[in-house]
Amino acid sequence: MNKIVLTLALATVCSTGFAQKGSFYVGGAAGFSTKNNSTDNNGNTKDGVKQTSWSFSPEVGTFLTDNLSVGIGLNFTGSKADARTTVKNITTTSHTGATLYARNFFGKNAFKPFVGLNVSILPGSGKTELGPVTTKTKLMDIGANLNAGFAYALSPRVTVVGSVATLGFASSTSEVEGSNVKNKSTEFGLDANTLGNRFNVGVYYTFLQ
């Protein structure tokens, strides 16, 4: 699997050190990944599903107090799965939505742990092309979670923010257009990890006034 992920955030604050009341920041994240599956039977290789996905999430936020920040991120995602069979079998999806969040940081040193709350809603659409038949679906993903992480000021201008755990709820619904067929899945759980998919880091750059 090939995967490229880019995260960037910019911040404007009123003093040196970590962001304070009244400061604001803009930034975002982008990602792209591809995955190829194949089988090998005594030297005979057969292609399987090829999957591609991408995401782009610009973000803006502000500090209401020295330790409490709130923000909103716009979420744009898409995916494509090509079964690579003799009959055309391609499924594509896209979502456009938003995430609202709040984070409360603790302490006055360069290292600050935080706890936060995220709420997201992602309406979208899907399309499956199977031979000459095309099926369209309406999609809806919603979620809410508590999360925990840290911020560390590397310098007066650069701060690293990382998330290491979430506890929350997610719901995903798909409805085939022109029919009464609706599929829904829900999930509630804890995901805590300092390595792997859960761990993610953003870099904030500070413009001093």
In the chain, where the domains are located: 2-208
pLDDT in tens, 64-82: 888 898 989 899 999 999 9
Q: In terms of pTM, does the model score above 0.75?
A: yes
- Domain 2-208 CATH class label: mainly beta
Residue given tokens 């973000």 in the structure block: 59
Report the DSSP pairing between strands 133-153 and 182-192.
unpaired
CA 33 – CA 52 distance, rounded (Å): 6
pLDDT at 30 exceeding the cut of 50: yes
d(CA 2, CA 195): 18
Q: What is the dihedral of CA 202, 204, 205, 209, to 10 degrees?
A: 170
Q: How far apart are CA 74 and CA 79, in angstroms?
A: 17
184: left (phi over 0), alpha (psi -120 to 50) or beta: beta
pLDDT band for position 107 (cuts 50, 70, 90): confident
